[in-house]
Structure 1
C-alpha cells in the first residue's frame, strides 16, 4: 500500500513536469522573433530558424543554414537548397544541391525515397513521384525508359560508359517494368508533373530527359506540421501539436503504470513461489542436515528409486492412515519390509525427524525396528521390519477381526507393550515419551509379539526431567491424558503415556471400546466406570467361556488399567510398576479410586489437538 502511494506520487510529479515543460515550450515559441532571411528566402520564421538565431526563435529540429547566400537544409545526411517556404500551406520546396538548372548533365548527389520519411516526425513528401536512375548492360527499347542524352557518351542515343547504358524511369516501378540486366543506381522525388501518366497510357507520350531534368531542378515539396490540416492557423496547429504531445506522454504513463502493475503482479507471483519453495526447501534441508549430523543412527538411507524398486512400484498396499500409506516391500536379501510413504500434505518435517531420531536410536523386542528411511526433498519414506499380523486394533474387537486371540495371548501382548513403554521411559540414555499409544500403533509380528510403532508425535527429554513443556496437546482423543488439555490437573510427564496405556489395556481386557454410546444401559457408555462398579459390587463380568486362570488375568488387567487411568497423574503408577503389577499376583492388587470421565474444573483455554478423525476409535464405533 505504501509503495503504491510512492509510485502514484512519482507519476503525478512526472505529469506536472511534462505540463510545465509544454507550457514553457509554447511560451517560448509564441514569443515575437523577427523573420530571418537568406538569398531569396526572406520569411524564415517559426518553426524554421537560421543557424545562429537566438535560442528562443524557431525550433532546433527545423534549423536551416545560409551558405553563399543560399538557404540549405540538411536532410537524411543529404544537402538540399531551399527554393521556397510557404507558411500558409506549411510546405518547403527543396532541390538536390547537385542539380543545376539549364545544365542537364548535373545529376543528384543523394538518393531519397518515401521510405526515408517513414519514421520522420518533421517532414513528409508532398505530391511527389520518383525518378529512378537505371544502369543497363544492353539498350532497352521499352518506352518507359527515357534516354539520358546529357550523360557522358553524348549523341542522340542512350549514354554509355564502358558498354553500360544510362536511363531514367519516372513513376512507380513494378517488377515487370525492370528490364533484364538493369540495376537501380539512384532514386529522387520530383513534384508530380501533369504529363506523368499511369495505367495503360503510361509511356505513350514521348518525354525527353531534358524535361525530366527541369522537373528535378524545380525540386520537390515537403510538408511540415503534417499532423494538422493545411488551412489551420499556426496557433491551432501548435495547440494540436501540444495536445498530441500530451496524449502521447499520458499514454506512455498509462502504459508505464500498466506495465509496472503487470510487472508487480508477476514479481509478487514469482516471490510467493520463491517463498513457498524456500520454506519447503528449508524444511527439507533441516531434515537432511539433522540426519547427516546423527552419527549414532543405525537405519540405512535409501533413495526414492530404491523405495520404488522395493515396493515394485507401490504395488502391494497394506493399509492407509492419516500419515499416508503403507506398502509391502522386499529387501535385496529377500526379507519383507513395511514401507510407510508419508503424505506430503499432512506429514511435516518435525514428525519425520521425531520418528527417525527416536526409533533410529533404539533396538528393543517390543519396539518396531526401523531398517531405513528415504528423504529426497518432498519425498519421505520409512522402512520398517515387516509385521505380518498387522495392528492390534483388528484383534481387540471381535466384530472387526477374523482371528480371535485368547485371554492368554491378549495378556502377553499387554505385558509386551508395557515393557516396550517402560524401555522408552527409562531404558535409554534419554527419556522418550510416545504420546500416541493406541491399538492402531501396536503392530504384531508372526508370533504375535507386540511392537510399538508410529513415533511421529514422540518427544525426547533428559531422564531427570519429570515435567515437560508442550505448546499444544498431542495424541488421539479417547487415549489422551487429561492433563494434556485440562489445566490445574498436573504437569505433563511420562504419566501421559501411562494413561494412554491404561485406556488401551482396558479395551484389551473388555474386548470393547471404552466409550460406546450404543450400549444397552447408560451406565455402560463409559466402560471403565461400569467395570469399576461391577468389580466393587463383586459381580462377575461376562467374558464367555474362559478358565479361572484366564478370568484372573482379565481381572488383573482391569485393575491395572483402572490404576493407570486415574485423573491425577500423581495417582498413576510408573510403567515399571505397571509391569510389576501385571507380572504379580492379582490377589495382591488393591482396587484404586473410581476413575472419572472428566475433572471437576472446566478447561480454561483451548489447545490445538494433533489428531486424525479417521483414527478416533470412539467416533468410528458410532
Structure 2
C-alpha cells in the first residue's frame, strides 16, 4: 500500500507544480477571478459587463450578460426567449456585439426573437414590418427571404407590410404570419446579426482606455471605471501567498494519493464485474457493454468497411463463426454524445421484429460504438434510390410486405412501448433488410420519448433529413410536432418506393419541375393509369394502394394524416375501398377529409409537452 501511495504521489507532483503556477499567475484574490477570458484562442475577449456563467462569480458581470462556452469552444449567448447565438466579436467601446446563428439560418429564429425582456437591441437602423408567404412558384420580382426556411416544393418570400402585392402572382402562395420590426441583418447571406446595449454605460470607460466594473460597498447596481491591471502588479504578494499554501497543498496531495489507490482497487473490481455482467446480458439478449479492445477484436481491427455516414463509420464484425454483427464507430468530433445516449437508451426498450436489434455498445473513454445485428441486404435505399442507377429487383408483393413491415414497426414505436417513441428520421437509408428482405428500422440517434397519453412534443430545432421532414418541424404554422411527423416521413418513403418503379419519360427526364407526389396525385385524380413498370397481374393495384396511402400520409397539416394504426389497416386491406386524399401540394384542402378515417377530429388541439430525454 505504501509503495502505491508514493508512486501516485510521484506521478501527481506535476499537479502540485501546476497548482503553484496558477496561484502565482492568477493570485489568490477574488478580483482575479474576473480577469479577461476567452472560450478559444482567437475567440472574443470576455470581460465586464459579460461573464462566463458557471466559471466566474456573479459580480464579474452585469445581470443579463451571461455567456457560456460550448463543447466546441464557441462563445454562446442565450436570450430570455431561448434564442441561442454564437458571439464572434464584442466592441466594448461602441457597446456592440456581432453574432451568428449556430445552425446558419437566422430567419428560422424569427418567431422566438423578442428582445423586449433582453438587455440588447437590434443595431440595424433599417427595420421593417414584413408579411411572410410560402409559394410553390418562383416570385422573380419579390423579396426572396431565404432558402433555409423552405421545405421541398416551397420557397419563403417576404413583403413589406402594407405594400401593394397586386403586382405579384400569389395564386400559388399562402400567407404564413406577420412580424414587426425585422432588421435587415436577419436575412444577410453571411449569417451576421448586430446587437447593441445601452446599460450598463461602459462605453466611456473604453473610450478613456479603462475597464468597467461594479462598484463595491453599495446596495445599488452601479458601475465605475478603473485602470487596466498591469501584468506584474502585486507579483511578490502572490508568490508569498502561494508559498504559504504549499503545506496545505502537500497534505491535499497525500489525501488525493490515498483516494487514487482506493479508486484503482475499486476500478479493478468493477472491471471484473463488468465482464460477468457482459456474459449474463448477452445470454439474456440485452445490449452488452464492450471495451474498445473488444470492438477491435470483433471487427478484426476494422478490416471490412460497410459504409460511412455523417456520424460514423460501419464495419463488419463477428462474435463467433455463426454470429455476424455491424459495428458503427461514432465520430468523436460531432455532437455532444446526445445521439449515442438516445440510441442506447431508446433501443434498450425495443423488442420488435421490424426494429433492428442493438446487440451492444462501447463507451470506453471518448471512444463510442454501437453493435447491431448484421443484415446482408443493406438498406432499402439501395433498391429504391435512382442514384444507384439499377432497376429495382424487388417484386411489387415484396415491396408491399416491406411497406407493411415498416408501418408495423413505426406503429410499435408509437403505441407498443411504455413510452411513445418518435423516430424523427424515417428514410430508406435507415430501413435495413434481412436475408428475407424483411424491413428493420434503425438509427435512433434523433429519437425522442414522450408519454403515451400526450399527443405532441416540444422542439427547439428542426431534426431529420431534408426531403423527409414534416412541414410542422420547420414551422409551427402547420401544426404541432407529434407522432404524425413520423407519418409524413413514412409517406415520403412509400412514394419513393413507388417512384423508383416509375417508367422514365425521356421528354421530361431532365425537367427539374417534375415532382413525383404532384405527378402521381394528378394522374390518379384524373383517372389516368400510373406509368409504372408492371410485371404481372395485380401489380397495378398494389402500386395504386401504396400511392394513395403515401399521399394520405404526406398531407401538410398533421391532423389530416392518418395514425400508423390506420395506415396498417389500409395496407392490410384490399385497396379497392381507399379514397383519394386532398392534394398534398395545396393548403386549401382542409375541408375535404374523407370519412374512411374515423375518430380523428379535423381541428383537434394537440397539447404540447416536453421531451423526456
User: TM-score, normalized by length of structure 1?
Assistant: 0.48
